[in-house]
Structure 1
């Protein structure tokens, strides 16, 4: 993936995050207005309590949904920026001392600009408890990492570490069983909310993604065939790498929007 594409993705995610936070601010203003009205006008509460409290419940629910969307955006943006920075460091490592100093300054500025977002990300990571996410794990005896679907059990804010559960039984010599992993947050990618198709990005045709292969709980590299998701179901139409038919063609497979995430930089699967 080129630097131009990486930058475009980061800018797109940043715009989405800015728009989302404006929605949060507007929602919070409405909540505060209702709070003041309820506190300053007890007679209003007595006359129309059901209506006002119902409106307040709707606003709370909306703000909760916006916060959950923010978790997904922040973690995705963090992964994209980290990947971009690492790629830049690798590409420029043989440059002159002046270039290295300039590069370090650029990296420091990038990380500083993300400091506020990182704090919010840590605060909101707890929202992923009991949610399914994509996780990069290293199974016992395996030479390479794998991406699988796991369930979040706990988030350690200090260590920035998730405890997750692989709910699929293993196939080891002892008969298998569910496995737990402790993974740094950089190894976790949240899925879009199943109940909210708008939380899923609109990947352009030809974009590489990481998706759950139908009938499994493993994620593999795939290519978006059509930029427009299917109506009603909001499914993506994808072609998985190394999924050739006997004639060498790649079948087009339908994958639910809540089982597809951006392809991490450096993915080799």
Structure 2
């Protein structure tokens, strides 16, 4: 009976994964359709937006079900393994499993159904949102961060397709597109929700959008905290200069254009 339950759970897991593939195929079709429209046309698309949302809700539910079935399957397999073992052998297996769980928790490269679900939820929240993105390669001498718009999430590669909406220079005319992992993207605080913005202590290092540009640069927080959540940050940008100013000029930057400085930032 226990083996029959294992086989049934395995079949259900296989069914869920196939259904997830179908859902993401439909999501990708809609993303492709949106990418072929200009901004005016996209704003007029009512029903496709509802379909896209419904597909993401379905994807979220399938991912949650996958976690539930996977957990049940693990318990069933554990029960089968332990049934014919001595207490010493069961203890040894439990210790080894605990070590593996600890290693998985500490190693970000080891993905699980739960981490996939978390990534899908983040992808759902970031589509069509502006974010801070490092567009330079890992081996570049310095990091360059810009405001980009998330247009699509590729489930197979687990990368975001983003669009730099600012026109390029003469050599790179037009808008530039990139495919980036989540590790090179930082969501901005929500413009309409000041509570999503952190209170950085004085002296804290941050990345902030320099006034009049779409580029983010390293800066230092001057004020200890904002009196009101929706107030601007007072910052000093590294290597900034202003005519007639003896030191670094202090600039007020909106709370929704400031993010924590990434660890290992190169400048």
The interval holding the TM-score normalised by the smaller chain is 0.5 to 0.7
Kindly indicate whether residue 146 of structure 2 is the aligned counterpart of residue 148 of structure 1.
Answer: yes
Name the counterpart of 2:196.
Answer: 199
Q: Tell me how far 1:234 sits from its aligned partner.
A: 2.1
Equivalent residues of 1:126, 1:154 under 8 A apart: no
Look at both structures and tell me which one has the larger radius of gyration over its CA atoms. Answer: 2
Name the counterpart of 1:212.
Answer: 209
Q: Tell me how far 1:248 sits from its aligned partner.
A: 4.6
CA RMSD, Structure 1 to Structure 2 (Å): 3.0
Equivalent residues of 2:143, 2:266 under 8 A apart: no
Equivalent residues of 2:159, 2:179 under 8 A apart: yes
What secondary structure is seen at the aligned counterpart in 1 of 2:241? coil
Equivalent residues of 2:148, 2:163 under 8 A apart: yes
What secondary structure is seen at the aligned counterpart in 2 of 1:122? helix
Are the structure 2 counterparts of residues 197 and 178 from structure 1 closer, same or farther at C-alpha, using a change threshold of 3 Å? Answer: same
What secondary structure is seen at the aligned counterpart in 1 of 2:202? coil
Equivalent residues of 1:210, 1:260 under 8 A apart: yes
C-alpha distance in 1, partners of 2:203/2:112?
32
Name the counterpart of 1:162.
Answer: 160
TM-score between the two structures when normalised by the length of structure 2: 0.55
Name the counterpart of 1:79.
Answer: none
Kindly indicate whether residue 266 of structure 2 is the aligned counterpart of residue 268 of structure 1.
Answer: yes
C-alpha distance in 1, partners of 2:118/2:231?
27
| Among candidates 99, 106, 113, match of residue 110 of structure 1 | 106
Are the structure 2 counterparts of residues 232 and 209 from structure 1 closer, same or farther at C-alpha, using a change threshold of 3 Å? Answer: closer
TM-score between the two structures when normalised by the length of structure 1: 0.54
C-alpha distance in 2, partners of 1:189/1:232?
20
Name the counterpart of 1:235.
Answer: 232
Name the counterpart of 1:189.
Answer: 186
C-alpha distance in 2, partners of 1:205/1:144?
25
Structure 1: state its 5+ residue gaps: 1-63, 65-103
Structure 2: state its 5+ residue gaps: 1-56, 58-99
Equivalent residues of 2:142, 2:266 under 8 A apart: no
Equivalent residues of 2:233, 2:255 under 8 A apart: yes
